[in-house]
Structure 1
Amino acid sequence: MVGQQPGQGGPSEIFQPLAADDPTTIAGYRLAAKLGAGGMGKVYLSYTPGGRAVAIKVIRPEFGEDPEFRRRFAQEVKSAQRVQGLFTAPVIDADTDGAQPWLATAYVPGPSLADAVAAHGALPVETVLLLVAGMAEALHIIHGAGIVHRDLKPSNVLLAADGPRVIDFGIAYAADATSLTGSGVTIGTPSFMAPEQAAGRKVTAATDIFALGQVAAYAATGTPAFGEGTSHGVLYRIVHEEPDLTGVPERLRELVTRCLAKDPVARPSIADIIAICQSANAETVLRRPEDWLPAPITADITVRTAAPAPAQTPPPPTAAPAAAYSPTTPVSPTTPPPGYGPPATPQPPQHPMGQYPMAQHPMGPPAPTHAHAAYAPTQGPAGHMGGPTYPGYSVPPAQQPPKGGPGKQGILIALAAALVIGVAGGAYLVSRGEGDDTKGDSAAQGTPDSSASGDTGSKNPPAADSTPKDDPKADPKPSSYKGINLTAGYHLTLGEDPVRPQEGEDGGYELSYDTGGYLDAESTGGTLALLDPGQEGSLEACRADTRYTQNIYVDKLSQGRQVCVTTGTGHMGLVTVKGFSGEDSPSTYMTLDLTVWRNAVASGSGG
């Protein structure tokens, strides 16, 4: 899907007026202008109640009609809401179940790399080094959230005053297996695909590294590394031929060459890429000056900063702000003013996903980014991924006077009083153990039945400190399954006995080995938690660990590592990695031992 990629020109061309077939609001967001349109939908400009600009991306109806797209889109949005990096545009709101799915991201006032190069030509070497280093940091955060971008290209990289922003990560995966693309059409832009992606093979984080090298070559030369032309011709050259790097400056040659290795294993890591940028810059630390972009692109940013005003001035808050906004503290759920964003809904607990840290920030202290980067999106119930939450906004419920005259009101009061007396009387009977019904109630609530012990004549209620407590439920016995070979594209169901791999990776399964290269907990309420090396795996350890995630990339696992699995059906499991398939194996699989504690999730707990 197109990101925030308006064309070149003045404000009238960048911020296009809404056409007759454009909506005026999306879930309460009033639309101010259209930013662009592309293969997967349209992008509109809107505002939060506090006046921050956001980009609303509305998916095309034909994608929204595909149930597989909706399922994957919901999964990717959920993952994207965990991505909060300096060089990404955070997802702050979404609706994956509406008539037309949409998501809202922070608006970035800057041209895409594609627009900038088309209008002003290739970028200077120093700018390209800072661009690549920022994109590498963005991929570091994106991959840490378990996402492969799959469509990293110049139009998905925005140039802001304080650095690049990588957008639309994971969106290609949502469309990858829909009815629209299942007939052989490959998701992604041909000129910026990796060989394995073009050949329909396994896509991993290394796929994004190849695309990063292509973007670097494009930024430095103004043309794709494998040329232009028909899709089939470009894809053939990517798979079978070497790139044309004759125009790439010498200081960028090592970076681009290593990223464009045909073998994914031979490509550099994120840390290697940043080290290469540092070496090419002849500095130990990369520092991003305010004028890191050429002057013509900076002028484009100035034009985009002057976004049109919202359709209506946000009304003042109805109550004093409860707390000052802090970019380092979570925003508590509140209700935005009427007409701005969907109504607030109760939010279930969020499961934070740990991200693998870097020993030292590779780029030094970057320039401060706008406040949207600190938004902590929340996830609501099915049908809405959580409305934008803003401190200090609350709307009291409307006060409705009682209908009817005083006579009716008196009757209602009398009935209420009678109900209270009846409830109090029933509670008294229950406390005295009288009546046949109270025996059933007492048994259901774990209180003793006096008739069962023969003490039917006692009328004294038991003392407060002598009330028996519910017996704690004993821990279930573990079931162990050794040497399971879990092939990519297959899944396990912990409730089965014996647990055996079954075909399928995208069906709400409890534990699947996705062909994208990661373990996936798809069931509703299901979570994974990667235990630390040397940490002893046990039921107690899995219950105590709260580093929840939905997926874990296999390249983060090694022999002996353990993963706790919590299913939405109440089971817990411990996966112990025993090994992986060899390079000469005709299939990709991992060997694991599995311990299952069935019905081990305490009531009210779990993922």
Structure 2
Amino acid sequence: MSGSVTSGVFQVLEADDPPMVAGYRIAARLGAGGMGKVYLSHTPGGRAVAIKVIRPEFAQDAEFRQRFRREVQSAQRVQGLYTAAVIDSDVDGPTPWLATAYVPGPTVSAAVAEHGRLPARTVLMLVAGIAEALQVIHGAGIVHRDLKPSNVLLASDGPRVIDFGIARAADATSLTASGVAIGTPSFMAPEQAAGGETSDATDVFALGQVAAYAALGAPAYGEGPSHGVLYRIVHEDPDLSGLPTELRTLVSRCLVKDPAGRASLTEILDLCGAAADQTQLRRPEDWLPAGLAAGISKRPPVPNPVPTAPAFDPSPPTSRPAPAPAPQAATASAHSRPVVGSPQLAGQYQASPMGHQPEGYGPPGGYGSPQTVHPARPMPMPGHPYLPPPARPRNRTAVVLVSVFGVLLLVLAGCGAMLNMFSREADDRRTADGSGSNPSASAKAVPRPDPQPETYADIKLAYDYHLKFADVPVEPVKYSTDDVFYNCGFGSCEFATFGAKLARLDSGSDGSLQACRQETRFTTRIPVEALSKGSRMCVRTNNGSIAMIAYKGRSSKDEPSTYAILDVTVWRGADRKD
């Protein structure tokens, strides 16, 4: 969310803004950024939510969609006190979106713009809250990659980190290869600015920059053209001379150039406690400066959704007043605006077709996929029985011609059936006396042979990599949508799939093709904790192949990468029905 602390929080919808996203009726626009626009809506129970609608160019990128789906699934498991929870999403529709809890507070950037630099006491509490949020986010296997002042909200009970995982999804798309930078230059880490690998330490560097910005009122590496800022981040030291004394060690430990030398999140929390002269931080209710806290309490009330349909008027049509003239194109009504989830969106927020949406503050029937509401059949009113409309007069000449053609078609069909019957009887007689054979019977008698298995031993499937069984040879690939991938988070790992079917075989199974064909206990996720060395899993792919995976172990905790060791056997085309 962006905007002033005391005004301009809720922006009026414009002609190109949708009045509805799926089943969520939009009340206002909260802001816009490089990834999309953010709108205010409500759940069915009336709780305010922020809905981010992804930009069309990202929605059209297959790699982004696949990665975005994964990141949203991981983000939904993040339940921290200082994160804005992801409560709903649509990652497969033509226009991806996600809904998070709405936080009634300004961003750090908006607060600094209106109130100036924040006091050291507030910055310490801010850094401690962000560090705790990052612990939860990193525990879910997510690197934020775009932590910045506009992605941290200030609420009366502490900060909230938002947009975690979205930049990670975008970082994998073909858009990055065409020159689209992911992240904000003034708050990038050196390895990120140089195009290197990002890690949890990347977010620590960004945390130090957010702290410096809040305390100094400006970025630690200055402002100006992005290439100049990025050069200073990689090659020069920041100017921290204006920082309060209690913040200098904390920020300096975060802004170490080498990722391996930066402070851990645990160290950051310890430094915050030491700087506050406390063994354990306790966040007071007045952790924000008085002027900023007063601005939050005086924020305008959350607006109601924009109506998407006129109210029902029970009066007869003859007694209703004449409609007012249509407004000019510059003041388009809600009915003329596109709806995310309707076929109106040709090139902007294009989404799956939907029927008329029932009135309400959230998606019909809860958080499931929007449902088409079919128009009701005419029902009789009391005292006025329903009469069907009178039949239209028919053209007698056309009726006669249709009847004649119908009779001719029936005669031809009957002749064809008789000829077919005589032909089958002749084939049967030839088969009985040995003078011929029945081709259809012989074809059914020959079963399709099973395909030969292809075996690949000791595959090291790293975290975030896929096995695509249509490939020859089968080997780990990145950013694919098929068929099985290795996912880790919250200290555990799992084998998962989006389009295929997974099944864990019993320990006594022989791991044959027949065993995989007979298996019916399919799932989409199998935790590594449920497997032992030698355990087997069957995979039935959406392209008709069957694979058997033998689990042989995984990397140790002291290794730099996370991977599983597998033997894979593939029977190509074994599951095809043709």
Residue equivalent to 1:449: none
Q: Report 1:274-293 matches (<5 A).
A: 274-293=269-288
Q: Report 1:113-128 matches (<5 A).
A: 113-128=108-123
1:496 positional shift: 9.5
- Out of 5, 14, 26, which is 2:2 matched to? 5
Instruction: Name the SS for the 1:94 alignment partner.
Output: strand
**Rounded Cα–Cα distance in structure 1 between residues aligned with 2:496 and 2:141:** 13
**Rounded Cα–Cα distance in structure 2 between residues aligned with 1:551 and 1:184:** 37
Q: Report 1:175-574 matches (<5 A).
A: 175-304=170-299, 306-311=301-306, 339-344=360-365, 384=369, 481-482=457-458, 484=459, 491-492=466-467, 501-511=475-485, 521=495, 523-524=497-498, 569=540, 571=548, 573-574=550-551
Residue equivalent to 1:167: 162
Structure 1 residues 60 and 565: alpha-carbon distance in aligned structure 2, compared to 1, 3 A threshold:
farther
Q: Which moved more, 1:570-579 or 1:223-232?
A: 570-579
- Out of 136, 142, 158, which is 1:141 matched to? 136
Note if contact 2:63-2:479 (Cα within 8 Å) is conserved in structure 1: no
Structure 1 residues 184 and 522: alpha-carbon distance in aligned structure 2, compared to 1, 3 A threshold:
farther
1:343 positional shift: 3.6
Structure 1 residues 502 and 32: alpha-carbon distance in aligned structure 2, compared to 1, 3 A threshold:
closer
**Rounded Cα–Cα distance in structure 2 between residues aligned with 1:89 and 1:237:** 32
**Rounded Cα–Cα distance in structure 2 between residues aligned with 1:164 and 1:272:** 19
1:26 positional shift: 1.5
1:125 positional shift: 1.1
Aligned partner letter, 1:7: S
Instruction: Name the SS for the 2:123 alignment partner.
Output: helix
- Out of 529, 541, 553, which is 1:576 matched to? 553
1:62 positional shift: 2.5
Do structure 1's residue 105 and structure 2's residue 77 form an aligned pair? Answer: no
1:116 positional shift: 0.5
Structure 1 residues 495 and 35: alpha-carbon distance in aligned structure 2, compared to 1, 3 A threshold:
closer
Structure 1 residues 564 and 194: alpha-carbon distance in aligned structure 2, compared to 1, 3 A threshold:
farther
**Rounded Cα–Cα distance in structure 2 between residues aligned with 1:217 and 1:246:** 11
1:111 positional shift: 0.4
Residue equivalent to 2:443: none
Aligned partner letter, 2:124: L
Instruction: Name the SS for the 1:14 alignment partner.
Output: coil
**Rounded Cα–Cα distance in structure 2 between residues aligned with 1:250 and 1:266:** 22
Instruction: Name the SS for the 2:224 alignment partner.
Output: coil
Structure 1 residues 593 and 59: alpha-carbon distance in aligned structure 2, compared to 1, 3 A threshold:
closer
Aligned partner letter, 1:508: D
**Rounded Cα–Cα distance in structure 2 between residues aligned with 1:591 and 1:72:** 19
Instruction: Name the SS for the 1:181 alignment partner.
Output: helix
1:303 positional shift: 3.3
1:157 positional shift: 0.1
Note if contact 2:143-2:199 (Cα within 8 Å) is conserved in structure 1: yes
- Out of 18, 21, 45, which is 1:23 matched to? 18
Instruction: Report Cα offsets for 1:419-463 as digits up to 9, x if no partner.
Output: xxxxxxxxxxxxxxxxxxxxxxxxxxxxxxxxxxxxxxxxxxxxx
Q: Report 1:57-76 matches (<5 A).
A: 57-76=52-71
1:293 positional shift: 0.3
Structure 1 residues 28 and 489: alpha-carbon distance in aligned structure 2, compared to 1, 3 A threshold:
closer
1:282 positional shift: 0.9
1:215 positional shift: 0.7
Q: Which runs of 5+ in 2 are unaligned?
A: 309-356, 388-454, 509-523, 541-546, 572-578
Instruction: Name the SS for the 1:299 alignment partner.
Output: helix
1:302 positional shift: 1.8
Instruction: Name the SS for the 1:228 alignment partner.
Output: coil
Q: Which runs of 5+ in 1 are unaligned?
A: 314-335, 346-377, 388-394, 406-478, 529-537, 541-547, 553-560, 583-587, 600-607
1:120 positional shift: 0.9
**Rounded Cα–Cα distance in structure 1 between residues aligned with 2:239 and 2:80:** 33
Aligned partner letter, 2:362: G
Note if contact 2:497-2:525 (Cα within 8 Å) is conserved in structure 1: no
Instruction: Name the SS for the 1:92 alignment partner.
Output: strand
Alignment TM-score, normalising by the size of structure 1: 0.61
Note if contact 2:29-2:38 (Cα within 8 Å) is conserved in structure 1: yes
**Rounded Cα–Cα distance in structure 2 between residues aligned with 1:242 and 1:597:** 53
RMSD: 4.6
Structure 1 residues 568 and 591: alpha-carbon distance in aligned structure 2, compared to 1, 3 A threshold:
closer
Residue equivalent to 1:361: none
Residue equivalent to 2:515: none
Aligned partner letter, 1:94: S
Instruction: Name the SS for the 1:594 alignment partner.
Output: strand
1:18 positional shift: 1.5
1:6 positional shift: 2.5
**Rounded Cα–Cα distance in structure 1 between residues aligned with 2:131 and 2:37:** 27
Structure 1 residues 136 and 174: alpha-carbon distance in aligned structure 2, compared to 1, 3 A threshold:
same
Instruction: Report Cα offsets for 1:454-486 as digits up to 9, x if no partner.
Output: xxxxxxxxxxxxxxxxxxxxxxxxx9945x556
Structure 1 residues 494 and 23: alpha-carbon distance in aligned structure 2, compared to 1, 3 A threshold:
closer
| Structure of larger gyration radius | 2
**Rounded Cα–Cα distance in structure 2 between residues aligned with 1:88 and 1:189:** 20
Residue equivalent to 2:85: 90
Residue equivalent to 1:333: none
How many residue pairs get aligned? The number is 433
Structure 1 residues 185 and 564: alpha-carbon distance in aligned structure 2, compared to 1, 3 A threshold:
farther
Residue equivalent to 2:40: 45
Structure 1 residues 344 and 573: alpha-carbon distance in aligned structure 2, compared to 1, 3 A threshold:
farther
**Rounded Cα–Cα distance in structure 2 between residues aligned with 1:75 and 1:306:** 35
Structure 1 residues 102 and 27: alpha-carbon distance in aligned structure 2, compared to 1, 3 A threshold:
same
